[in-house]
Amino acid sequence: MNVVVIVTVAHHASDGELALTPVHGEALLTHTVRGLLGVPEIDLVLVAAPQRCASLFSEALRVFEQRGLPCRVVPGSIREAFATVEPDLARDTVVLLHDALRAFIPAETVRGVLNAVGDSPVVVPVLPMADTVKVTDSSLIVGTEDRTRLRTAQTPIGYTLEAFLAASPWDTTGAALVDGHPDAMRVTTEFELSLAEAIAAAPKNEETL
């Protein structure tokens, strides 16, 4: 099986700069890609870089290029990055779509997604909703949402090749669910950065790159 990961910062205009935020001496993006390259099942990591950040992304990932690791920066969109490898992909390829700001997804969570693709064409890691969710009308609370059926979605989203070609990026309607992990938070705030520093500094059980 071929496994290709597309790392992207496409959610918000500011995500490109956030991906370059230093965490424990390296860009957040560097941590993201290092974690993915540490999963042996993954054959290639493609980073779809905003044009304005492409050179800085390449610099952040140069350490992997110098070591001959399968990582490539492609300026442009998710589809433009995918087009660079599509002709070489086998029919049983699994495509993972990953948010660059989720830098500390554990390898076992990535494997959980990979193992579930096939039984379902689209797979999403999720966590149960812990907070109480209120329904509002203007400035008033008008009800409480039943959180037993609510989940917070994470990445990577796993696709069969056919499903990826047919899907709109980030559309996960009908996807199967696997367990996510608290470390796979999206790092955007000062508080999340402090948590990311602690995760990055912690001893690792698996060999790191």
Q: Which two tokens stand for residue 148?
A: 């037993």
What is the structure's pLDDT at 1?
55
Average pLDDT, the chain: 91
User: Residue 205's pLDDT band (boundaries 50, 70, 90)?
Assistant: low
Q: Which two tokens stand for residue 32?
A: 């993201």
What is the structure's pLDDT at 132?
83
What is the structure's pLDDT at 203?
77
Q: Where are the beta strands (DSSP E) in the chain?
A: 3-8, 22-23, 26-27, 44-49, 71-75, 94-99, 122-128, 134-137, 140-144, 151-153, 157-160, 176-179
Q: Which two tokens stand for residue 68?
A: 């001959």
pTM assigned to the model: 0.91
Plot region of 144 (φ>0 → left; ψ -120 to 50 → alpha; else → beta): beta
Burial class (CB within 10 angstroms; exposed 0-12, middle 13-18, buried 19+) of 94: buried
What is the structure's pLDDT at 207?
54
pLDDT tens readout for residues 168-179: 888 899 999 999
pLDDT tens readout for residues 41-81: 999 999 999 999 999 999 999 999 999 999 999 999 999 99
